[in-house]
Structure 1
Amino acid sequence: MAATSSPSTAAAAMWAFAAATCVKLLLVPTYRSTDFDVHRYWLALTHTLPARQWYTDASSQWTLDYPPFFAYFSRLLSLPAPFVDASLVAIPVPASPPSSAYILYLRFTVAFSDLLLLLASVLLLARDARRRQRPFLALLLVLWSPALLIVDHIHFQYNGFLMGLLLLSLHFLEQGKDLAGGVVFAALLCSKHLFLVAAPVYFVYLFRHYCCGRGLARGLGRLVLMGAGVVAVFAMAFTPFVYYGQCTMGGSN
């Protein structure tokens, strides 16, 4: 009989996450990378301009080149920004050095968005501790990943949040909720296109596990249902920008 994650396991995960967050805050004064300026501009872009201009604005060299769901995510992060420092959402980007509040806010948005990584990690790795010899060790390896600390909290990106989406998708697959897992992965693809490398693996797994071996009619029905769910996610992400005639899948980072 499966056992859900115990309160002690969840509490330990929270303590590990809190400790990791303290380390991330200590990294706030680290250097300002190119990606820091990129994401700062995207924050201002999605806050100040209407969506029809997000992928065509040329006021900065850092054009928006992530898929639409990440643009919506930047928009969400930008909402409290004017209350911290109005220059966070100013276009064009001010030439003056950023204030301490400006830098702290941007760094904090990365640490805050890692809450999704914590949630997905607890669900995926600690839900059934009896089937895993060291679930807490696995949690530590995710929450204290040196790669994520360096790339997200020194260099400056939001890969912890995106990895949280991936782990949430895997959690649904592990629970036998293949449709939900496929839909969440589609949302991930609409957030960062580099996860396309995992799409063939997902396709093969979902086709074999969700559609095959259930009779022709039922299998085709499930294939149509999965396809409809994925198409619906992509439609929500891309339809407004297709309507505006914008291209959203360029870029290299």
Structure 2
Amino acid sequence: MPLLQAHTLLFDMDGTLVDSTALVESTWAGFCERHGLDLAEVLAFAHGRPTRETVHHFVTDAPLAASETRRLVAHEESETTGITAIPGAAGLLAALPPGSWAVVTSASRTLAEVRLGAAGLPMPEMLVSADDISRGKPDPEGYLRAARLLGRAPRDTIVFEDSPAGIRAGLASGARTVVIGTCTAHDHEAERYPDFHGFRVTPAGPSHPGVTLTVPEPVGDSRLVRR
């Protein structure tokens, strides 16, 4: 079976570790109803980006955008209906050595804690949230910050992502980027897996002291990617 090897693993949250799709879509549906916007267009832009960036993209009036952002954030942080872990995520995170992984999310720190807890996933020792950066995905700032705080070069990390914006951020950081889910836009650049089913942490050998994962074969055209 294939192996993924790196010193550090960096995980996006929503759509990668946590399935919050139904809640996210209902939240943005309310936003679209209030502002006469197309839900499909908003969701396409919002996926992987901080809430404030999406609101300001579609609402040009600054005071209204600020008020709407506060409203959406308050709703997101108080609602956990339907939130579950992506298959295989809990077992994988539980098996990883301490200090070998981090979460890099476009959510606020509070929201990340709420959703990880609701999904029954452990809190990482290192969490880089929207509160910690000035430029959201697809900018690589979050992944670069996480690698720096963990004392690793980006090339020594693997980024796990599910959204186009997040995948672009991972690739732009210089990290090996692995796609979780159904986004096929980067199959020629990154391996893709439906979820974490079949991922196993294997003992690292003396020649590679970081994290070694035994994984299934990737899906789709991403099978052509070899690193």
TM range (shorter): under 0.3
Structure 2 length-normalised TM: 0.26
Structure having the higher Rg: 1
Higher helix share: 1
Higher strand share: 2
Structure 1 length-normalised TM: 0.24
